[in-house]
Amino acid sequence: MDEPTRPTLGFIGTGPVATALAQSLAVAGYRIAALHGRDAQRAAALAQSLPQAAVAASRQAVADGADLVILAVPDDAIASVADSIAWRPGQAVVHCNGAATRALLAGAEAAGADVGVFHPLQSLPHPNRTRERLKGCMFRVEASSARLSRWLEDMAHAVGGRPLALDVDPTLYHASAVLASNCLVALLDLASELWAELGVPREEGLRALLPLVRGTIANVEEVGIPAALTGPIARGDVGTVAHHLAALNELAPSVASVYKQLGLRAVELAVAKGTLGPDGARRLRELLAQRERGTGGVR
Ligand SMILES: NC(=O)c1ccc[n+]([C@@H]2O[C@H](COP(=O)([O-])OP(=O)(O)OC[C@H]3O[C@@H](n4cnc5c(N)ncnc54)[C@H](OP(=O)(O)O)[C@@H]3O)[C@@H](O)[C@H]2O)c1
């Protein structure tokens, strides 16, 4: 019997990742046979947004009706959810955890299923407008068989993304994603907090900063790193940096430590860009490496 070129899909979980994948894959022409979530209302709402999908009465019913089951549940629930299902040889199951390998699905593999990972390298905080977010994004794919590998690569392309097969432990890949996305959110929170010191509500500060952030990202896309670096460190304006540190040490010491840490990295980028000479770099390194309160002298 010929292998189906496109698997019939089933989803377990009804959160932002299940929503993004199910809606994008349905638009791309994949058949979503069934989905299941513990919250019946959320499952019904997701099924209604898809052309053919039905809400299944149980996880097992999803697995029974699908060639490929996508487990879009929290990381800590993946193994127990997978182990609660009786898998059959020939079917396939993937999880969406970027930091874990397919070994999380060892029980399903032992039962004869193909197992893998399908991780969208995207931030999806809620189920709204998630579909647009998948276009152009990278999908880490991992598979125990060539057939599943092909299915996952086709799915990534079908939703406008790009598949990436990593043959190494994915922990650093995921740590990199956390730095670039989650830590960026934390950084913007810190930056907007400073506006409260200016007497401007932090929400307004954030709104003011967003065009700057978008411009910076566009610069990184257009000219790359280190060319995209601007500002006092890139220019070697040591006095301006000293003033920043004096004010931050006084008014926001926790922000000062982040500023110093990232500032030291910016010094290396400025040197690589060629806009910061050895003397300016030495003075900035000394300034930014200071631990105690106060800026100390600038030599
Ligand atoms: N969100 C992102 O930005 C993102 C990006 C890339 C990859 N991922 C990965 O994608 C997977 C799902 O992420 P998500 O953000 O969609 O997760 P989530 O919103 O935290 O949970 C997804 C769904 O799982 C079900 N669920 C929750 N706890 C469960 C449990 N203990 N047992 C069984 N089901 C449970 C819930 O649906 P019901 O209550 O209806 O059952 C929930 O809607 C995770 O592996 C995550 O690492 C997330």
Q: Give residue 73's pLDDT.
A: 98
Q: Give residue 226's pLDDT.
A: 98
Task: Please give the model's pTM, rounded to 2 decimal places.
Answer: 0.94
Q: What is the pLDDT of residues 45-77, one digit of tens each?
A: 999 999 988 999 999 999 999 999 999 999 999
> Which atom from ligand 1 is nearest to the alpha carbon of 121?
6
CA gap 223, 25 in Å, rounded: 33
Q: Which residues line ligand 1 (CB under 6 A)?
A: 13-18, 37-39, 42-43, 72-75, 77, 81, 95-98, 119-120, 122-124
Please name the residue whose Cα sits nearest to atom 30 of ligand 1.
77
Q: Give residue 163's pLDDT.
A: 98
Q: Give residue 296's pLDDT.
A: 37
Ligand 1: centre distance to CA 166 (Å): 23
Residues of the chain predicted below pLDDT 50 = 1, 293-299
Q: Give residue 291's pLDDT.
A: 76
CA distances in angstroms from 155 to 7, 13, 66, 83, 161, listed in the order given: 10, 19, 15, 25, 8
What CATH fold (topology level) applies to the domain 9-169? Rossmann fold (3.40.50)
Q: Give residue 2's pLDDT.
A: 56
Q: Give residue 4's pLDDT.
A: 61
- The first and second tokens of residue 96, run together, are 């969406």
Domain residue ranges of the chain, discontinuous segments joined by +: 9-169, 173-288
Contacts of 207 (CB under 8 A, 6+ apart): none
Q: Give residue 130's pLDDT.
A: 75
Q: Give residue 297's pLDDT.
A: 33
**Is residue 274 left, alpha or beta, with left meaning phi > 0 and alpha meaning psi from -120 to 50?**
left
Ligand 1: centre distance to CA 108 (Å): 19
Please name the residue whose Cα sits nearest to atom 44 of ligand 1.
74
Place of tokens 């994915």: 170
Contacts of 173 (CB under 8 A, 6+ apart): 98, 99, 140, 166
